[in-house]
Amino acid sequence: MKQLFLILGLISAAYSASSFAADTPAAASPKPATTTAAPTQLVQVITSMGNFTLELNAERAPLTVAHFMRYVDSGHYKGATFHRVVANFVIQGGGFDANYKPIDAPYKVVNESGNGLTNQRGTVGLARGSEPHAGDAQFYINLFDNEALDPNKTRWGYAVFGKVIQGMDVVDKIGNVATGARGPFKEDAPLQPVVIERIERLASP
């Protein structure tokens, strides 16, 4: 039951109510980013605890990758944190600064959770609230195989759009920091902020 509760906490704001009941796609989908992405895009996530590299899959998740890169190119992630860490589950970041204050993230994207990519250990997905198309700048990295985050016939899932290809040891180190109550969070917030210094493009393979 606790694991299910933690899954419901993958949100784009402080812990609000969420449900895995069947959702109906919005009548008017959010306008996607117009950036054109290559089949794969590499980015490096530079943090206060070390660096890791993501390979983004624009072939399977074109809207989500373009959306994420829009935030990367705007410098949104500079000074953001991994504000939510749950050992053996996920690390989540991109929405709060080092003082645990929310960072404005105005752009949303259509949910691509049915793209065939699954929430396996080391994959990166887009966090969202209970509304299926509510994903903004917050992303998470799976520390474990989290099939409960995948879509099924009765509900939307969380869209996977890439994977860690280098530095998973850094991700695991972040996933084991001491956590507790900080800012608006009652639990699971790192007691010492894990800062994202920046996310930068790398040359595509």
Between 24 and 134, the more confident residue is: 134
Residue ranges of domains in the chain, CATH in brackets: 2-10+34-202 (2.40.100.10)
Widest Cα–Cα separation across the chain: 43
Q: What is the pLDDT of residue 203?
A: 86
pLDDT band at 2 (very low <50, low <70, confident <90, very high): very low
**pLDDT reading at 30 higher than 70:** no
pTM to 2 decimal places? 0.84
Per-residue HEC secondary structure of 111-156 comes to: CCCCCCCCCCCCEEEECCCCCCCCECCCEEEECCCCHHHCCECCEC
**pLDDT reading at 33 higher than 90:** no
CB of 52 closer than 8 Å to CB of 60: no
Q: What is the pLDDT of residues 92-103, one digit of tens each?
A: 999 999 999 999
**pLDDT reading at 6 higher than 80:** no
**pLDDT reading at 16 higher than 80:** no
**pLDDT reading at 81 higher than 60:** yes
Provide the mean pLDDT of the chain: 87
Torsion angle of the four alpha carbons 168, 171, 173, 179, in this order, in degrees rounded to the nearest 10: -160
**pLDDT reading at 7 higher than 80:** no
**pLDDT reading at 25 higher than 70:** no
Q: What is the pLDDT of residues 146-196, one digit of tens each?
A: 999 999 999 999 999 999 999 999 999 999 999 999 999 999 999 999 999
Token pair recorded at residue 200: 């930068």
Q: What angle do CA 50, 161, 198 make, to 5 degrees?
A: 30
Query: Measured between alpha carbons, how far is 138 from 140 in angstroms, rounded to an integer?
Result: 7
**pLDDT reading at 126 higher than 60:** yes
Q: What is the pLDDT of residues 55-75, one digit of tens each?
A: 999 999 999 999 999 999 999
Torsion angle of the four alpha carbons 45, 190, 157, 198, in this order, in degrees rounded to the nearest 10: -20
Token pair recorded at residue 41: 């895009």
